[in-house]
Amino acid sequence: MGGKRGSGDGKEREDTNHSAPLDGPSAGMFTMPPGAPADNRSYARRVAENPPALGPLGSVPPALRYRLAEAVKTGELARVMEEGEPWFPAEPGLAELGYWMIQSRQPVEIRRRGCMWLTMFPTVETVKRLAALATNGSTPAPIREQAIWSLGYRQQRALHPKTHWPAEAVQLADEALYKLADAATTYGTIASDQLPQALRHVQADFVAAVFARAPGLWGAALESFATVPLARVLFVSIDDIPPQHRVRVLRLIAATLGPEAVPLLVARARAAAPEQRIEMLLLAVALGGEKHLPRLEDALRSGAPPGADGRHGVGDRVRERAKWHLANPGVVPTVRGLRVARTTAVIAPANRALRCAEAADDLATLPRFARYTESYVYTLWSWMVRGANDPARATTLVSAYPDAQKLVGDLYIQDLARRGKVAQTSSAAHANGLIAKGALQLAIWGRPLAALALASTERIQSAELACARALACYRAGRPDLTERLLAEDLPPPEIAGDQPSAYPGSNEQWLIEHAHDPVHGALASGLTAVLALAKGAPHDADPDLTSLDPIAAVEQRLSRGLAGSTVYLAGEFKSVNRDKIAAALERAGARLVAGPCPGTDYYVHGDNCLAQTIAQLEHQGARRIRRGELEGIE
């Protein structure tokens, strides 16, 4: 759940919690890599002495409630935080867990995670507690840094749609960050890596006034928001801004001042470095119109480097961008898009999807003409596409920046499938680890054999995979297989307690009732509901596969033949004879395996076996040998 680790060196470090800028579905919220508490025994003792109150958690899926309770006991909260982002903010009482975690008696790592946790609950009380940590010089540095970032973080990203910053909380957070910025300006140095990056989310006149006192110091904080007085100071002081920030600051100045900036841009362009000169003149065209085109042409003739894309030189792409600006006067699209991207959690939930769609279109504009030099912009663009939930916009993004598939891969696959791009859908599904998603989309959009072929490569059994197989078999002319799949090969339920259950379990039922999950709903309702997912293939869709091998693979799976299969004996065997079962399996041509390994075909359930072990086996595709299928199993 990467965050920013900005620093005084001016290098962009957004979303560096993982190994790549877009790694993880919620990259951006947290600032440091995950890890367990430094002293697990000490933490466990504190939990036992003073357990946190979790409440009823009625707005959280049962399986996630179960995992949260276990994670609190062990202190290993990183994974459950990531899984819970789409759900936890809907349960306001869970802020109490964050308050418990940031208590001074807790280990530093748990306190830091408490600041992370509270990012999901941007209330007035939460902001007051984070501000107290951020502005206290005795707060340990890791906790203080995370508190600063959490005060600035106004993005919704993967958080539950109910996540919303009220105006009073925004004001209090801005005041706390202002105190830190004012002190840094007074001392002439920024001691916090997180502060400049957090301040990119802040739109407050008093913070802008601090920047105006030392514009060169705050180059890393200048991106989306500025007042008119600050923009004027920035333009006069542009040479004081570190070079890596100047193009971004020039766009901010232009977006803030509008036509007032044109004479300044034209005058300063003469002495500017080539890249900045071109940007200044493009902004002059954007704000002042076509009368500034001759100056742009002169600059291009005077030494623009040749293009590197093999099709158009830099000059051609600059001219194309100038045409766009003439058609969209007064717009600086990157700044306008980033203003939304930085404040999605401040926007009313009902308006977010539309605003995200508009921001995605804004951020998609300049890459038509040149790549963004700051890769974090692609991350924010990706989250705008997710906020809009638009497959077509996902394809636009991926075409400009293939690595964005790490965040929008499911939307991209959906768009490929509905446009009938069979091979591309399969390739993208494999590349992004979304095989079940791709198989289901191919089945939905009328390419059943390709769907079954893709499904046959997936070893993890899920609701999407089961639904894909069932729908694809029916559309391939094998309704008999569909009926058997729905009767005999449903996915395992998520663990929501210590005892195993049949599908749909309590977690799936909750998702059907509260989240209106279409896949679980279809599988639980049966054949008619599964078939209702189907849509017609587009007229220009790629042809389906011609091989019937994928259907044969389903038949083989349903045949439950033991010859050549692998079997795991799960749990203890007291009431039944383990050796007798092993001998019967050997006679049937099966081979025993020592553990619940991926690729195991079957398992025999002993007298006592952990529900987690059974869930692991079934998620990996292993099926239970039923009564009567083998000697010794009654």
511 vs 275: CA distance, rounded Å: 52
What are 567's strand-pairing partners? Answer: 592, 602
Q: Is 567 helix (H, G, I), strand (E, B) or coil?
A: strand
> For 140-199, what is each residue's pLDDT tens digit?
999 999 999 999 999 999 999 999 999 999 999 999 999 999 999 999 999 999 999 999
With tokens 């801005």, the residue in question is 174
113 vs 142: CA distance, rounded Å: 10
- Quick check: 492 and 520 in contact, CB under 8 A? no
- Quick check: 160 and 87 in contact, CB under 8 A? yes
- Quick check: 534 and 471 in contact, CB under 8 A? yes
Quick one: tokens of 340? 């939304």
More confident site: 32 or 597: 597
What are 602's strand-pairing partners? Answer: 567, 623
What local confidence, expressed as pLDDT, does residue 75 receive? 82
More confident site: 605 or 345: 345
> For 593-617, what is each residue's pLDDT tens digit?
888 888 888 888 887 787 788 888 8
> For 119-142, what is each residue's pLDDT tens digit?
999 999 999 999 999 999 999 999
Provide DSSP, 182-226: HHHHHHT----SHHHHHHTT---HHHHHHHHH-TTTTGGG-SS--
74 vs 290: CA distance, rounded Å: 64
> For 348-407, what is each residue's pLDDT tens digit?
999 999 999 999 999 999 999 999 999 999 999 999 999 999 999 999 999 999 999 999
- Quick check: 212 and 21 in contact, CB under 8 A? no
Phi, psi of 26 (to 5 degrees): -130, 30
Phi, psi of 499 (to 5 degrees): -110, 135
What are 605's strand-pairing partners? Answer: 570
Domain ranges across the chain: 1-183, 348-413, 419-556, 560-624
> For 497-541, what is each residue's pLDDT tens digit?
866 678 999 999 999 999 999 999 999 999 999 999 999 999 999
Residue 255 has pLDDT above 80, yes or no: yes
**pTM value?**
0.89
CATH number of 560-624: 3.40.50.10190
Residues contacting 462, CB < 8 A, separation 6+: 436, 491, 619
More confident site: 49 or 18: 49
Q: What is the mean pLDDT of residues 52-62?
A: 91
What local confidence, expressed as pLDDT, does residue 32 receive? 40
What stretches of 333-404 show up as alpha helix (H) in DSSP? 333-341, 349-363, 376-388, 391-400
